[in-house]
Structure 1
Amino acid sequence: MRDVIGRHRGMRGVRTAREAVELVRVGSDSVPETRMRLALVDAGLPEPVLNHVLFESRGVPVLWPDAAYPRWGIALQYDGGHHAGTEQHLRDIDRQDRTEIHGWLEVRIGKHHLEGDRPAVVPRVRRALQSRGWRRDDR
């Protein structure tokens, strides 16, 4: 009997593992970026593209957002603890300027936006998408 129970528990684990594998994406640079993506998808928003590269007109890469909605010109940037330093903060300001110059909207996300049962990242990104013409039917 103990062997049957052990196999049954193992099958649940296999099922859970298979479901988890379907959520894995290449390109996520951190656990918070993955949490951000999963919160957005769980809320019914489109899945963002990870590490999308934005090129200028001559083909030179100018932006590498953590996640993006290329169709709507939205860049999502997760700013972890190291973004609090002066030098990184100045680089982040320059990055946001480049984003805007190329006609994109940057949405900056911090740790506090990912917390709780109803993470604040969802309404922030939903508003950004809606400001760029997204409707719930768009995927």
Structure 2
Amino acid sequence: MVDAASWARTDDQARAVVAAAFQQRLVAIRGVEEVLGRLTRIPRRRLITQTARDAAGGAHSLAEIDLGRLCHAHGLPQPARQVVRRDASGRRRYLDARYEQWGVHIDIDGSQHFDPRHAWADMRRQNDLWINGDRVLRFPTWAVRHSPAAVAAQLRAALLSAGWRPSLEDLGKKRPS
């Protein structure tokens, strides 16, 4: 995985390789850090290290990694990632990101979510959450990457509405316009 990421054509391709390896449970952070400790001069070493740490923290896609960075940049708390829950029929489901304390969920939709069957499954899952009183925010991958201020504004509004109050440290962070 480290070699493939260092040889990738672009940084995004390198990040995708790392995220996919963690998503498929092919690697663990300790092993990756051990390899990176031996390979001190590989291309993209810093990028691979940061992406591996993000992925080990629960982010399973580039968009989920981008969401974590967006939250940090905009003074928002970090959500839990890939939270396991049971749906109405008892099956295990994973939420992309969740703020348990405030009942706010974030779904990041890639292109597969626009297939009608996949969209209907997403809607049913979202309805189950809404029925229980939780807030669900959905963003396309594109918006997380290319319109982070708009995503952050909606996320901030949902968190504030749910009772979150920023700390003094959060208020001091610069928010891009």
Short-chain TM bin: 0.7 to 0.9
Runs of at least 4 residues of structure 1 off by over 3 A?
Answer: 16-19, 60-63, 115-119
TM-score for both structures, normalised by structure 1: 0.74
The one of the two structures with greater contact order (alpha-carbon pairs below 8 A, sep at least 6) is 1
Please tell me whether residue 128 in structure 1 is matched to residue 158 in structure 2. yes
What is the CA-CA distance between 1:113 and the residue it aligns to?
Answer: 1.7
Number of positions where the alignment pairs a residue of Structure 1 with one of Structure 2: 124
Instruction: Let me know the Cα RMSD of the aligned residues.
Output: 2.8
Unaligned runs of at least 5 residues, structure 2: 1-40, 171-177
- Could you give the per-residue CA deviations for residues 69-125 of structure 1, whole angstroms, max 9, x where no partner exists? 001011110110001111011111101101112221111011232234744211111
Percent pairwise identity: 25
Q: Quick one: which of 122, 126, 130 aligns to 1:96?
A: 126
Report the structure number with the largest CA radius of gyration: 1
Give yes or no for contact 1:63–1:98 (8 Å, CA) kept in 2. no
C-alpha spacing 1:32/1:118, structure 2 compared with 1 (3 Å): closer
Q: Quick one: which of 60, 70, 82 aligns to 2:100?
A: 70
Look up the SS of the partner of 1:24 in the other structure.
Answer: helix
Look up the SS of the partner of 2:78 in the other structure.
Answer: coil
Give yes or no for contact 1:36–1:121 (8 Å, CA) kept in 2. no
Look up the SS of the partner of 2:83 in the other structure.
Answer: coil
Q: Residue 81 of structure 2 aligns to which amino acid in structure 1?
A: L
Cα distance between partner residues in 2 of 1:22 and 1:89: 30
Higher helix share: 2
Unaligned runs of at least 5 residues, structure 1: 1-9
Please tell me whether residue 28 in structure 1 is matched to residue 55 in structure 2. no
